[in-house]
Structures are given as C-alpha cells and as structure tokens.
C-alpha cells in the first residue's frame, strides 16, 4: 500500500495561489460594478454609438480614467455597420458590443453620462440629463471624418470627466 506524503510548502502555495486568484476575480467584479458608465446612443446602435464607445474606452484606459462606455440603440440593427467594424479594426479596436443592443431604462438609471446622436423615445426622457451630439457626420458615409470629429468630442469629454 502506498503512503501519501503531503508537502506543507506545496499546500501553502496552492492555498495562496487560490486566494490570489479569487481576490483578483473579486476586484474585477468590484471594478465593473463601481466603474462609472457612459452611454452612447444612436438610432440603430450600429455606427456612431459603437465607434464612440470603442474610442472612449481606449482613450479612458490610456489616460488611466476609471470610466467605461457602452453603446446602445433606440431601434437597433441586427449587426454593426461593416464600415464601422472595418474602421475600428484598422485602428486596432473592437466594438464595445458584439451586436447592437436596445437601450433600457436600467442602462440609463446606472449611467454617469448619457450622450445621444438621436432623439430618445418619450418614455425615456423623464428627469434624464442628456447631451446631444447630433451634429456629427454619418459614420457610414465618411468614417475618417466622422471618427476625427468623435475623437475631438471625446477629448473634451474626457478632460471634463478627469477634472471632476
């Protein structure tokens, strides 16, 4: 019959590793729950909001700001605009959402900031402060110019968020 020998150092290492991994997982959950959310909303949730959220997240990470952005639509398409997906890919980014998602009241309730490129449905406007960026070019028509304009706006937004 074989005798099992337990090495106390190995056992301690396993326990410490487990605690370390679990601690990081809990920290990630806390960060996600506590990270202020910025919502970008366009009608189809497939172009301007997707591009804005992707660039916002990149710039916020680069500036070490504790914010994250999501993209939503009031009447979402079934897929992200191919021009936007290609443009983001060329810039080394991926969309913040795999497919366009419909805005919900729960999204809005937890948002630090709401930025729209379109009108919100009437039943969503109750006591909601919304910033309208409806003067931007169509991303699907001229991606580069629209991206550059979005980046200008995002730069100002991030500076403002940084100062608060």
What pTM did the predictor assign?
Answer: 0.77
pLDDT at 79 over 90: yes
pLDDT number for residue 125? 62
- DSSP helix/strand/coil, 139: coil
The predicted-structure confidence for 85-112, as pLDDT tens digits, reads as follows: 999 999 999 998 899 999 998 888 888 9
CA 154 remoteness from chain centre: 13
Domains of the chain: 35-163 (3.40.50.2300)
Cα separation, 133 vs 48, whole angstroms = 10
Arithmetic mean of pLDDT, 115-136? 79
In this model, does residue 36 exceed pLDDT 50?
yes
Confidence at residue 129, expressed as pLDDT on a 0 to 100 scale: 78
């Amino acid at each position: 019959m074989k005798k099992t020998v337990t090495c106390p150092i190995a056992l301690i290492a396993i326990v410490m590793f487990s605690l370390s991994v679990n601690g990081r997982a809990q920290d990630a959950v806390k960060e996600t729950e506590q990270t202020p959310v910025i919502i970008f909303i366009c009608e189809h949730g497939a172009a301007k909001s997707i591009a804005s959220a992707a660039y916002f997240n990149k710039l916020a990470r680069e500036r070490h700001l504790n914010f994250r952005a999501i993209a939503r639509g009031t009447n979402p398409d079934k897929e992200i605009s191919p021009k936007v997906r290609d443009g983001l890919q060329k810039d080394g980014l991926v969309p913040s959402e795999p497919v366009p998602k419909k805005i919900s009241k729960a999204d809005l309730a937890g948002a630090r900031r709401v930025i729209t490129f379109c009108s919100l449905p009437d039943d969503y406007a109750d006591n909601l402060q919304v910033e309208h960026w409806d003067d931007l070019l169509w991303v699907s028509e001229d991606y580069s110019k629209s991206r550059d304009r979005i980046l200008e706006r995002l730069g100002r937004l991030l500076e403002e968020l940084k100062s608060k």
